[in-house]
Amino acid sequence: MNLAAVARLSLTVAALWGWAAGIATSADYKPAGESPTAEDYVAHIGGKATIVESGDLLLGGHRAACGVRPVVLDPALDDFAAAYDGFIILNPRKLEGLPPAVSLWIYSHECGHQFKGPDEDEADCFAVQRGRRQGWLTPAGVEQICNFISPSQGDIMHFSGPQRCQTVRRCFGDKGQF
């Protein structure tokens, strides 16, 4: 693991710890040592967030599931999606209007964190491999994903869009990696 990956991992762990600590201050939080659940998240943020059980989510006409993990639909989430140990969070407002391949890739990227951990390249590759295996990702879909991510300058957690696009293309062509 290179220094940049260690820094991203450290910040991810710190951010998740801070979020869990925020939940810990609420009266309905679980005892120490237990991870917050999707229900804890919804109770903590309030608003219009809802929980979709595993296997009940439809994205772009495809049923999406990440093992037994539920999805929280949070229209106030400040990003397209996020992952927390045991559940995925999607912002339906931000996903609305995206091509199916892009919305499924975003969801599958977050699912990748459930299985592969915090590494963003691993999650990108997991999503691409999954899409190719499940038949919803085609070469045209890869280009839609690249068009979606290419403008991104990157941030503390993610490489720049062009770098991620290279990963997406490489992983789409590598049939045995994941």
Percentage of residues in the chain having pLDDT higher than 90: 72
- Give the 3-state DSSP-derived string for 62-78, with helices as H, strands as E and coil as C: EEECECCECEEECCCCC
pLDDT confidence of residue 24: 33
What average pLDDT does range 7-14 have in this prediction?
A: 34
Quickly state the pLDDT bin for 156 (edges 50, 70, 90).
confident
The answer to whether 110 touches 81, Cβ cutoff 8 Å, is: yes
Interval 15-27: pLDDT, tens:
333 444 343 333 3
Which residue type sits at 36? P
pTM score of the predicted model = 0.80
Q: Confidence band (pLDDT; 50, 70, 90) for 32? A: low
For range 107-115, the mean pLDDT: 97
DSSP state of 98: S
How does the average pLDDT of the chain come out, rounded? 83
pLDDT value for 7: 33
Alpha-carbon separation of residue 150 from 2, 43, 162 (angstroms) = 23, 35, 5
The answer to whether 124 and 149 have CB atoms below 8 angstroms apart is: no
What's the pLDDT score for residue 91?
98
Distance of CA 74 to the CA centre of its chain: 13
d(CA 127, CA 50): 24
Query: For residue 151, what are the contacts with CB-CB under 8 A and spacing of at least 6?
Result: 161
